[in-house]
Amino acid sequence: MQRSAQHDKPLRVVQWATGTIGARSMRAVLGHPRMTLAGVHVHSPGKAGRDAGDLCGTDLTGVTTTHRLDDVLALGADCVLYMPRATGLDELCALLASGANVVATTGGFHHPAGMDPAVRRRVEAACERGGTSLHDTGSSPGFITEAVPLVLASFQRRLENLTIHEYADLSQRDSPELLFDIMGFGREPAAAFDEGRLKHVQGSFGPSLRLVADALGLPLDSVRARGRFATAARTTGIAAGVLPAGTVAAQRMTLTGLRGGRTLLEFNATWYCTDDLDPAWDLRPTGWHLRVDGDAPLDIDMRFPVPLERLAAISPGYTAHRAVNAVPAVCAAAPGIRTTVDLPPFTAVLG
């Protein structure tokens, strides 16, 4: 359901999934001067039939949640903010074919040329039937791996290398299950980095590197992933528990985009629970650091000026708000899978 960016009526938006990111984006829609919340789809049947405000910490909205896809399709919404844990291809294509544009944060659609051809054909066919667009975004991947690098590259006429570092200090994250059970902090370091995690990072961030390289006219020959650990130099207490000396206290995963046998683009994700490491690493506060080597070199720090103990409450907005702000541009776009390169730079409408 394509509309011009300058619309007279508020855009009718559906929130799909109400987890940490979804609840934040739903609050943003409710407070947006040019959007109205048309409906809410919840993953758990136990959340169905409730007022949307109950799930995002606002006053009652008059919008009742549903667990049924057909209920959402019947709304005739302009756009769906699609934020489940993983993409359900059947439901996604049904939404697009019904006439609802989709802004997703699930990953998988950042670089259409690199997608599974069968999946791409199916999604694009659904967009064609519905006259709709699909855009995949977020803070990382998305903002820091696409929007920012493309802006920085606009200064260049010769690019040697562009490197992105993402840092996350997890020492005040009171999530023992996440840090110890899922991420493997506090364990004996393995001889090699888990191949499954490397594959996940490559699938999540590799498409962004390829998208940027293609846009610059410098397509990558390959994208490679590697990882390494550092251990706690001494037994250290963190919010989630205790890191015994000699156990994993920092992890770094590096994704390298190669062209002509050299590194053109690189993304590094560094997660750490202490800076007292063996071996010592060069660490920065939570945030991003970008370096551009070219004929207009740049070195940029982007930090989150929030106390670590409050960061978990603030950080969902970086992903959720970008998705909400993308809605008008996606609704105005031509049908199909629309990337950061395809869409015009979009502005947050705050009043």
Query: What pLDDT digit, counting tens, does each position of 88-121 carry?
Result: 999 999 999 999 999 999 999 999 999 999 999 9
In sequence order, what are the residues at sequence separation of 6 or more whose Cβ sits closer than 8 angstroms to the Cβ of residue 183? Answer: 251, 271
pLDDT of the residue at 216 = 98
What is the count of structural domains for the chain?
Answer: 2
N-term to C-term CA, the chain: 25
308 within some domain: no
When the pLDDT of each residue in the chain is averaged and rounded to a whole number, the result is 95
Output the six-digit token pair for 102: 């989709």
307 within some domain: no
161-184 pLDDT, tens per residue? 999 999 999 999 999 999 999 999
Q: How many residues belong to the chain?
A: 351
pLDDT of the residue at 4 = 45
> Burial, 33: exposed, middle or buried (Cβ in 10 Å; 0-12, 13-18, 19+)?
exposed
Same domain, 15 and 112: yes
Please give the model's pTM, rounded to 2 decimal places.
0.93
CATH number of the domain within which 76 lies: 3.40.50.720
pLDDT of the residue at 168 = 96
6-37 pLDDT, tens per residue? 457 999 999 999 999 999 999 999 999 999 99
77 within some domain: yes
Output the six-digit token pair for 56: 């995002």
Same domain, 77 and 119: yes
Query: With bands split at pLDDT 50, 70 and 90, how would you rate the model's confidence at 1?
Result: low
Q: Three-state DSSP class for 135?
A: strand
Output the six-digit token pair for 103: 């802004």
Q: What is the mean pLDDT of residues 321-327?
A: 98
Whole-angstrom distance, CA of residue 46 vs CA of residue 50 = 9
From residue 305, alpha-carbon distances to 269, 287, 317 in Å are: 19, 9, 14
H helical segments located in 98-224: 117-130, 148-153, 176, 195-215
223 within some domain: yes
Same domain, 16 and 90: yes
Domain residue limits at 122: 11-139+316-337
pLDDT of the residue at 191 = 78
Same domain, 73 and 39: yes
pLDDT of the residue at 351 = 87
Using an 8 Å Cβ cutoff, are 220 and 213 in contact?
yes
Report which of 351, 113, 327 is spatially closest to residue 343, judged by C-alpha positions. Answer: 327
pLDDT at 5 over 70: no
- In 3-state terms, the chain is what percent helix, strand and coil (to 5)? 30, 30, 40
345 within some domain: no
Kindly provide the residue ranges of all beta strands, DSSP E only, lying in the chain, ordered along the sequence.
11-16, 35-41, 65-66, 79-82, 101-104, 133-136, 159-169, 222-232, 236-238, 241-243, 248-259, 262-272, 277-278, 287-294, 298-303, 336-337
115 within some domain: yes
Same domain, 100 and 27: yes
pLDDT at 46 over 60: yes
Using an 8 Å Cβ cutoff, are 254 and 263 in contact?
no
311 within some domain: no
342 within some domain: no
Query: With bands split at pLDDT 50, 70 and 90, how would you rate the model's confidence at 348?
Result: very high
247-271 pLDDT, tens per residue? 999 999 999 999 999 999 999 999 9
Longest CA pairwise span in the chain (Å): 62
